[in-house]
Chain A
């Protein structure tokens, strides 16, 4: 258990509305990530953070923004949700060198945009 909590776990929203997903970690990891998972595409990186207020774009960042005001929280915002953003969103953390610098995932947030 990597101590990752995602909220909400399930959400249905309307096209054009803003949506924020929250990722909370309890183990003070520096690196945090947001991925989305879609059939036929696998897991794709949206944004990541390497510290408080330090973020960078991933492979599929268009239409998403992130913020990290505290080490433990990493927020993903869809400013104006579209149907193409219907997906499963996974937050992840990077464990330290002693754990092989590997990435561990949360339980996921299922988002449906109607």
Chain B
């Protein structure tokens, strides 16, 4: 069993839709959670960074962590064609850990 599971999609939504991207994990020691966005043929770019349980909002993006269920989510409101990318979740047990555990990514397409 992989430490982090992520539905690879692909996921297609119309412009303006609310998108929900999710990851589950097995290691209860994970406390630091990240979402990266990766455009085609580019490097991953950090989108959201959260610690422990709860919600964090940044513009149209909301990251949610439910440690009791070992489940994290990224919500995108009013999705735009420019949001079309692969979204990777990542997590670690310690701040500044040298090895992050990544999901395999969910490919999202927002249709104009």
**Among the listed A42, A101, A102, which residue makes an inter-chain contact with B102, where contact means beta carbons less than 8 Å apart?**
A42
| B: contact size bracket | 20 to 34
Q: Which of A11-19, A71-79, A104-112 contacts B (4 or more CB under 8 A)?
A: A104-112
Distance of B61 from chain A, by nearest CB (Å): 16
Contacting pair A43 B44 (CB below 8 A): yes
The interface residues of chain A lying within 8 Å CB-to-CB of B28 are none
A43 contacts B99, CB within 8 Å? no
B42 and A107 within 8 A (CB): yes
Bound CA span A48–B103, Å: 20
A48 touches B98 (CB 8 A): yes
Known: A42-B104, A45-B98, A45-B99. A102 touches B46 (CB 8 A): yes
Residue pair B95, A41 in contact (C-beta under 8 Å)? no
Q: Number of residue pairs across A and B with beta carbons under 8 Å?
A: 57
Known contacts A100-B49, A106-B43: A43-B98 contact under CB 8 Å = no
Kindly state whether residue B74 has any CB partner on chain A within 8 Å.
no
Query: Chain B residues with Cβ under 8 A from A43's Cβ?
Result: 44, 88, 90, 100, 102
A39 to B88, CA, bound (A): 13
How far does the alpha carbon of A108 sit from the alpha carbon of B95 in the complex, in Å?
25
Contact pick for A105, options B44, B49, B95, B103, CB 8 Å: B44
Chain B residues whose CB sits within 8 angstroms of the CB of A50 once the complex forms: 98
In whole angstroms, how far apart are the Cα atoms of A39 and B6 in the complex?
13
* A48 shortest CB reach to chain B, Å: 5
Interface residues of B (CB under 8 A from A): 4, 6, 34, 36, 41-46, 49, 88, 90, 95-96, 98-100, 102-105
Q: Can you list the 6 inter-chain pairs with the closest CB atoms, starting with the nearest? A: A101-B96, A105-B43, A42-B104, A42-B102, A43-B102, A107-B43
